[in-house]
């Protein structure tokens, strides 16, 4: 297990970890808007930049990298708040604020870095998407890969193929769950769930009666031989607790 130095503190992390994980372990505060444990990092928001130094480099030679996908290695020295790091974050946040001037998450983070109003020209008719790509990555990971990013540059956006209701979407809601800004809208009325312009029939939890899973997802999972959870999450938790209690000591 490699030992690395974060802002002067030595920490030992698991093999294969990225610098962000090590830095957080060491107590550093690093913004990371496109990062999520459940999916592979892509380094899109660039807020998690840090300065690194490797054994063998010239003493004053540092490199700015995205900590969310820079793999740790023995002897790595990391500085999480050098002037260059802070300035890079400030410019990126300032830019994000121009893109999403009304988005609370962005506003709050920008304020933390001393930015109340963006220096740049605000986007007209802004939405809350920061293009972190978490939704598409989680959807790929769940399996359907129903949505993707389309177009390039500033025209880039997350969308289903051909901008129509995504044929492959199973309504699992994972994308909305993971979206840091709440840009993806899900509505439920107890019988159906609507997401990406597509409406799904809900299955009910046999224990509490709550709508907890779309039929499409249950069928999709069954079709792939995945076990479909028969209970909703809270009933499942309660059931587990009861079992644990009956066994005596919860573990």
Partner 1 sequence: MRLTSRKQYEEFRVRATRRLEGMRCRVLVCTGSGCLAGGAREVAEAVEEGLRERGLLDGRQGVEGKRTGCHGLCEAGPLVSIEPEGILYTRVTPDDVPEILDRTVLGGEVVERLAYEDPRSKNRVVHYRDIPFYKYQTRIATRNVGRVDPHDLEDAIAHGAYAGAVKALFEMTPEQVIDEVARSGLRGRGGAGFHTGRKWAACRRAPGDVKYVICNGDEGDPGAFKDRAIMEGDPHSVLEGMIIGAYAVGAREGFIYVRDEYPPGVLTSLHAALEAAREAGILGRGIFGTGMEFDIRITRGGGAYVCGESSALMRSIEGKVGEPRAKYIHGTERGLYDRPTVLNNVETWAHVGAILTRGGEWFAGMGTPKSKGTKAFSLSGKVRNAGLIELPMGTPLRHILHDIGGGIRGDRPFKAVQTGGPSGGVIPEALLDLPVDYEQLTEHGSMMGSGGMIVMDDRTCMVDVARYFVRFLNEESCGKCVPCREGLLQMLHLLDGLCEGRGRPGDLDRIERLARGMKWGSLCDLGRSAPNPVLSTLRHFREEYEAHLRDGACPAGVCRALTQYEIVPERCDGCHECVEVCPTAAIAGKPKQRHVIDQEKCIACGECFNVCPVDAIRYGPKARPATASAGATT
Chain residues that interact with partner 1, rule: CB under 8 A: 42-47, 49, 64-66, 69-71, 84, 87-88, 90-92, 95-96, 98-99, 119-121, 130-131, 133, 149, 151-156
- Give yes or no for residue 131 binding ligand SF4 (CB under 6 A): yes
Task: Please report how the helices 83-99 and 104-112 are oriented relative to each other, as an axis angle in degrees rounded to 10.
Answer: 150
Residue 171 burial by CB count (10 A; 0-12/13-18/19+): exposed, middle or buried? Answer: buried
Among residues 69, 37, 35, the alpha carbon closest in space to that of 52 is found at 69
Tokens 């060491």 -> residue: 26
Q: Report which residue's Cβ sits closest to ligand FES.
A: 68
- List the single partner that 120 binds among ligand FES, partner 1, ligand SF4, none, CB under 5 to 8 Å by kind: partner 1
- To partner 1, the closest distance from the beta carbon of 92 in angstroms equals 5
- List the single partner that 175 binds among ligand FES, partner 1, ligand SF4, none, CB under 5 to 8 Å by kind: ligand SF4
| Position among 20, 85, 134, 235 found at the interface with ligand SF4 (CB under 6 A) | 134
Q: Are 234 and 209 in contact (CB under 8 A)?
A: no
CB nearer to partner 1: give 41 or 144.
41
Contacts of range 215-219, beta carbons closer than 8 Å, 24 or more positions apart: 216/169, 216/170, 216/171, 217/170, 217/171, 217/172
CB nearer to ligand SF4: give 76 or 173.
173
At residue 19, φ and ψ (nearest 5 deg) are: -60, -35
Strand 77-79 versus strand 49-53 pairing type: antiparallel
- To ligand SF4, the closest distance from the beta carbon of 26 in angstroms equals 27
CB nearer to ligand SF4: give 41 or 173.
173
């Amino acid at each position: 297990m490699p030992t690395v130095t974060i802002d002067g503190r030595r920490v030992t992390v698991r093999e294969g970890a990225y610098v962000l994980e090590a830095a957080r372990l060491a107590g550093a505060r690093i913004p990371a808007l496109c990062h999520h444990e459940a999916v592979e990092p892509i380094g899109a928001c660039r807020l998690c930049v840090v300065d690194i130094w490797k054994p063998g480099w010239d003493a004053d030679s540092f490199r700015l990298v995205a900590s969310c996908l820079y793999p740790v290695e023995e002897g790595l020295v990391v500085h999480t708040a050098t002037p260059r790091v802070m300035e890079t974050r400030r410019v990126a946040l300032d830019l994000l604020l121009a893109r999403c001037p009304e988005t609370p998450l962005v506003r709050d983070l920008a304020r933390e870095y001393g930015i109340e109003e963006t220096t740049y020209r605000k986007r007209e008719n802004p939405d809350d998407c920061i293009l972190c790509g978490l939704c598409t990555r989680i959807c790929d990971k769940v399996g359907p890969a129903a949505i993707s990013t389309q177009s390039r540059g500033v025209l880039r956006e997350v969308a289903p193929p051909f901008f129509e209701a995504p044929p492959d979407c199973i309504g699992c809601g994972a994308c909305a769950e993971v979206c840091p800004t709440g840009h993806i809208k899900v509505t439920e009325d107890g019988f159906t769930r609507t997401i990406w312009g597509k409406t799904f029939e809900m299955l009910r939890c046999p224990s509490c009666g709550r709508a907890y899973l779309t039929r499409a997802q249950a069928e999709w999972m069954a079709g792939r031989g995945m076990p479909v959870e028969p209970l909703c999450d809270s009933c499942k938790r309660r059931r587990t607790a009861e079992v644990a209690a009956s066994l005596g000591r919860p573990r």
